[in-house]
Amino acid sequence: MSVRILGLVGSLRSGSHNRQLAEAAVKHAPEGVDVALYDGLADVPFYNEDIDVEGLVPEAARRLREAAAAADAFLLFSPEYNGTIPAVLKNAIDWLSRPYGAGALVGKPVAVVGTALGQYGGVWAQDETRKAVGIAGGTVLEDVKLSIPNSAGRFAEVHPADDAEVGDLLVGVLDKVAAAAAPSAV
Protein backbone atom coordinates (compact mmCIF):
# COMPACT_ATOMS: atom_id res chain seq x y z
CA MET A 1 0.00 0.00 0.00
CA SER A 2 1.31 3.44 -0.93
CA VAL A 3 1.72 6.29 1.51
CA ARG A 4 -0.66 9.07 0.42
CA ILE A 5 0.79 12.55 0.81
CA LEU A 6 -1.47 15.53 0.15
CA GLY A 7 0.33 18.60 -1.14
CA LEU A 8 -1.05 22.06 -0.39
CA VAL A 9 0.47 24.99 -2.29
CA GLY A 10 0.33 28.43 -0.69
CA SER A 11 0.46 30.32 -3.97
CA LEU A 12 -2.44 30.65 -6.41
CA ARG A 13 -0.38 32.24 -9.18
CA SER A 14 -0.30 30.15 -12.37
CA GLY A 15 3.48 30.52 -12.75
CA SER A 16 4.22 30.01 -9.07
CA HIS A 17 7.61 28.51 -8.35
CA ASN A 18 6.10 26.80 -5.30
CA ARG A 19 3.48 25.21 -7.55
CA GLN A 20 6.31 24.07 -9.81
CA LEU A 21 8.17 22.72 -6.78
CA ALA A 22 5.03 20.77 -5.84
CA GLU A 23 4.82 19.40 -9.39
CA ALA A 24 8.44 18.32 -9.03
CA ALA A 25 7.52 16.45 -5.84
CA VAL A 26 4.83 14.57 -7.75
CA LYS A 27 7.30 13.71 -10.52
CA HIS A 28 10.06 12.58 -8.16
CA ALA A 29 7.90 10.67 -5.66
CA PRO A 30 9.69 7.43 -4.82
CA GLU A 31 8.02 4.07 -5.30
CA GLY A 32 5.38 3.47 -2.65
CA VAL A 33 4.68 7.19 -2.25
CA ASP A 34 1.73 8.90 -3.92
CA VAL A 35 1.79 12.71 -3.88
CA ALA A 36 -1.49 14.38 -4.82
CA LEU A 37 -1.73 18.16 -5.15
CA TYR A 38 -4.92 19.79 -3.94
CA ASP A 39 -6.18 22.25 -6.53
CA GLY A 40 -9.18 23.85 -4.83
CA LEU A 41 -7.68 26.19 -2.23
CA ALA A 42 -8.77 29.31 -4.14
CA ASP A 43 -12.40 28.23 -3.73
CA VAL A 44 -12.30 27.72 0.04
CA PRO A 45 -13.89 30.69 1.82
CA PHE A 46 -12.16 32.29 4.77
CA TYR A 47 -12.75 30.24 7.89
CA ASN A 48 -15.79 31.39 9.82
CA GLU A 49 -17.13 29.39 12.74
CA ASP A 50 -20.64 30.57 11.89
CA ILE A 51 -20.62 28.51 8.67
CA ASP A 52 -18.67 25.59 10.10
CA VAL A 53 -21.76 23.79 11.30
CA GLU A 54 -23.50 20.73 9.94
CA GLY A 55 -25.51 21.62 6.88
CA LEU A 56 -23.72 24.94 6.30
CA VAL A 57 -20.11 23.92 5.61
CA PRO A 58 -19.26 25.26 2.15
CA GLU A 59 -18.74 22.60 -0.51
CA ALA A 60 -15.15 23.73 -1.16
CA ALA A 61 -14.25 23.38 2.53
CA ARG A 62 -15.94 19.98 2.71
CA ARG A 63 -13.93 18.76 -0.31
CA LEU A 64 -10.69 19.99 1.28
CA ARG A 65 -11.49 18.16 4.50
CA GLU A 66 -12.33 14.96 2.62
CA ALA A 67 -9.06 15.06 0.67
CA ALA A 68 -7.14 15.71 3.88
CA ALA A 69 -8.93 12.93 5.75
CA ALA A 70 -7.87 10.46 3.03
CA ALA A 71 -4.20 11.49 3.29
CA ASP A 72 -1.61 9.76 5.46
CA ALA A 73 0.61 12.86 5.59
CA PHE A 74 0.95 16.39 4.26
CA LEU A 75 3.58 18.35 2.37
CA LEU A 76 2.95 22.09 2.45
CA PHE A 77 4.65 24.40 -0.06
CA SER A 78 4.91 27.91 1.32
CA PRO A 79 6.14 31.00 -0.47
CA GLU A 80 6.81 34.03 1.70
CA TYR A 81 4.34 36.91 1.54
CA ASN A 82 5.59 39.97 3.43
CA GLY A 83 7.71 37.76 5.63
CA THR A 84 5.01 35.31 6.63
CA ILE A 85 2.58 32.57 5.59
CA PRO A 86 0.25 33.24 2.64
CA ALA A 87 -3.41 33.69 3.60
CA VAL A 88 -4.62 30.85 1.37
CA LEU A 89 -2.40 28.33 3.15
CA LYS A 90 -3.28 29.66 6.62
CA ASN A 91 -6.97 29.44 5.70
CA ALA A 92 -6.59 25.79 4.66
CA ILE A 93 -4.88 25.03 7.98
CA ASP A 94 -7.73 26.77 9.82
CA TRP A 95 -10.39 24.68 8.06
CA LEU A 96 -8.39 21.48 8.63
CA SER A 97 -7.95 22.28 12.33
CA ARG A 98 -11.67 21.81 12.99
CA PRO A 99 -13.51 20.30 14.63
CA TYR A 100 -11.18 21.21 17.45
CA GLY A 101 -9.07 18.24 18.49
CA ALA A 102 -10.39 16.05 15.67
CA GLY A 103 -9.47 17.94 12.48
CA ALA A 104 -7.97 16.20 9.46
CA LEU A 105 -4.43 17.28 10.43
CA VAL A 106 -4.51 15.82 13.92
CA GLY A 107 -1.77 13.28 14.50
CA LYS A 108 -0.63 13.17 10.86
CA PRO A 109 2.92 14.00 9.78
CA VAL A 110 3.35 17.38 8.11
CA ALA A 111 6.44 18.79 6.41
CA VAL A 112 6.79 22.34 5.14
CA VAL A 113 9.05 23.28 2.23
CA GLY A 114 9.23 26.05 -0.30
CA THR A 115 11.06 28.53 -2.41
CA ALA A 116 11.09 32.31 -2.44
CA LEU A 117 12.73 35.27 -4.14
CA GLY A 118 14.93 36.17 -1.18
CA GLN A 119 18.23 34.79 -0.05
CA TYR A 120 16.72 32.56 2.65
CA GLY A 121 14.13 30.77 0.54
CA GLY A 122 11.11 31.70 2.63
CA VAL A 123 12.21 30.29 5.98
CA TRP A 124 10.14 32.81 7.96
CA ALA A 125 6.95 31.75 6.20
CA GLN A 126 7.84 28.10 6.58
CA ASP A 127 8.49 28.55 10.30
CA GLU A 128 5.12 30.31 10.71
CA THR A 129 3.44 27.52 8.75
CA ARG A 130 4.99 24.87 11.01
CA LYS A 131 3.78 26.82 14.04
CA ALA A 132 0.20 27.02 12.73
CA VAL A 133 0.16 23.34 11.74
CA GLY A 134 1.45 22.28 15.16
CA ILE A 135 -1.21 24.30 16.95
CA ALA A 136 -3.80 22.77 14.59
CA GLY A 137 -2.77 19.30 15.77
CA GLY A 138 -0.49 18.13 12.97
CA THR A 139 2.70 16.27 13.80
CA VAL A 140 5.24 18.74 12.45
CA LEU A 141 8.36 17.10 11.08
CA GLU A 142 10.78 19.74 12.36
CA ASP A 143 13.82 18.02 10.86
CA VAL A 144 12.33 17.89 7.35
CA LYS A 145 13.13 21.21 5.72
CA LEU A 146 13.81 22.51 2.24
CA SER A 147 14.15 26.24 1.56
CA ILE A 148 15.31 27.17 -1.91
CA PRO A 149 16.45 30.81 -2.24
CA ASN A 150 16.43 33.08 -5.30
CA SER A 151 13.55 31.29 -7.01
CA ALA A 152 13.30 33.81 -9.85
CA GLY A 153 16.91 33.28 -10.82
CA ARG A 154 17.17 29.60 -10.02
CA PHE A 155 14.05 28.60 -11.95
CA ALA A 156 14.19 31.22 -14.73
CA GLU A 157 15.43 28.71 -17.29
CA VAL A 158 14.62 25.35 -15.70
CA HIS A 159 11.51 23.92 -14.06
CA PRO A 160 12.23 22.57 -10.57
CA ALA A 161 11.23 19.09 -11.80
CA ASP A 162 14.17 19.20 -14.21
CA ASP A 163 16.70 20.46 -11.66
CA ALA A 164 18.64 17.37 -10.56
CA GLU A 165 19.65 18.82 -7.19
CA VAL A 166 16.07 19.83 -6.39
CA GLY A 167 14.84 16.39 -7.44
CA ASP A 168 17.30 14.70 -5.09
CA LEU A 169 16.36 17.03 -2.22
CA LEU A 170 12.66 16.35 -2.78
CA VAL A 171 13.20 12.59 -2.77
CA GLY A 172 14.91 12.98 0.62
CA VAL A 173 11.98 15.02 1.94
CA LEU A 174 9.43 12.54 0.60
CA ASP A 175 11.32 9.56 2.02
CA LYS A 176 11.25 11.15 5.49
CA VAL A 177 7.56 12.10 5.27
CA ALA A 178 6.67 8.61 4.06
CA ALA A 179 8.68 7.00 6.86
CA ALA A 180 6.87 9.14 9.42
CA ALA A 181 3.51 8.21 7.91
CA ALA A 182 4.18 4.52 7.27
CA PRO A 183 2.69 3.18 10.54
CA SER A 184 -0.58 5.06 9.88
CA ALA A 185 -0.72 3.98 6.23
CA VAL A 186 -1.10 0.29 7.03
- Give me the sign of the Cα torsion angle 149, 150, 153, 159: positive
pTM score of the predicted model: 0.95
pLDDT(186) > 50: no
Percent of the chain exceeding pLDDT 90 equals 89
Percent of the chain exceeding pLDDT 70 equals 98
At residue 12, the pLDDT reads 96
At residue 47, the pLDDT reads 98
Task: Report the topology of domain 3-185.
Answer: Rossmann fold (3.40.50)
How distant, in Å, are the alpha carbons of 29, 74, 84, 155, 168 from that of 159?
Answer: 16, 22, 24, 6, 14
